[in-house]
Amino acid sequence: MNRNRLIGVCAAVAVGATAIPAAASAAPVITMSGSTSVAPLATLLAKAYIQKYPGRVKFKLAQGGSDVGVADVAAGRVSIGNSSRDPKPSDPGGLFFNKIAKDAICIITNPGNPIANLSQDQIQAIFSGKVRDWSDVPGSNISGTIDVTVRTPASGTQDAFQKIFLGSSSVTGAASAKASNGLVQQAVKSDKNAVGYVSLDFVAGTNAAAYNGVACNLRNAKSGEYGGVRNFWMVTRGRPVTGNPIQKFITWVQNSNNAQKIVGTHWVPLK
């Protein structure tokens, strides 16, 4: 299921690329893989870039998680590794992290259990397994075992969630790990007892709880009031060389008003 969805994303970008005059058939291809959080934004940016500069470049986009994107670009398998987590000391040498946006991580519950707010202490207790029944969570209108849903270790969202929300606490071994934001979203939508965390762009159909009294929405993320915000990166092998297709694309993403307006629709722009 996940693989088919990734192919659909690639096809969405390829459609834009093939709408280029025949003379542009030799256009270089920028390949990307990695974060499922960055993927929706990267797709929108790629389509807009093709429309702005027809014939300049084509794109191929896959996913797999931030660690996959970082490993792929380090090994030369892709041009850009999309990452929703910050650099790690364990990352391969020679990589350059190009910041393109910021994003809010929301704690989500099923609409049948519309928790209004969770403090950091409550989040740590729930996701570590110290609190296991919804009847012990203030604001819950249900009882029963809390079904904790998290991301797999390769996920940048998991890495950011650990740093921002959990700190030194560890996720309970009873948690169900999912490979993408969309799979966490679906799991929480279909299970009244579930709780999880996703990129702000994936909250539809769920209840996004406030964090420490601040709602998880775009306005609060942009203002800096919401505390659960992390960076989005496009990772390259070394600083992009001036004038090459990768550098031109990333510079456009970071500096053009058009690109940053696209970022501002669901994410936090750089300016």
Q: Three-class SS string for the chain?
A: CHHHHHHHHHHHHHHHHHCCCHHHCCCCEEEEEECCCHHHHHHHHHHHHHHHCCCCCEEEEEEECHHHHHHHHHCCCCCEEEECCCCCCCCCCCEEEEEEEEEEEEEEECCCCCCCEECHHHHHHHHHCCCCEHHHCCCCCCCCECEEEEECCCCHHHHHHHHHHHCCCCCCCCCEEECCHHHHHHHHHCCCCEEEEEEHHHCCCCEEEEECCECCCHHHHHHCCCCCEEEEEEEEECCCCCCCHHHHHHHHHHHCHHHHHHHHHHCECCC
Its pTM stands at 0.88
Considering the domain architecture, whether residues 120 and 155 belong to the same structural domain is answered as yes
Residue 17 has pLDDT above 90, yes or no: no
At 23, which CATH number? 3.40.190.10
**Which range of residues forms the domain containing residue 158?**
104-223
The model's pLDDT over 107-131, given as tens digits with 9 standing for 90+, comes to 999 999 999 999 999 999 999 999 9
Mean pLDDT of 18-47: 81
Mean pLDDT to the nearest integer, 52-71:
96
On whether both 71 and 117 belong to a single domain, the answer is no
Quick check: is 122 in a domain?
yes
Q: 211 and 239 share a domain?
A: no
The answer to whether residues 43 and 68 belong to one domain is yes
Name the pLDDT band for 180 (thresholds 50, 70, 90).
very high
Do 120 and 163 fall into the same domain? Answer: yes
Are residues 9 and 98 located together in one domain of the fold? yes
Residue 243 has pLDDT above 70, yes or no: yes
* 271 falls within a domain: no
How many domains are contained in the chain?
2
pLDDT at 10: 39
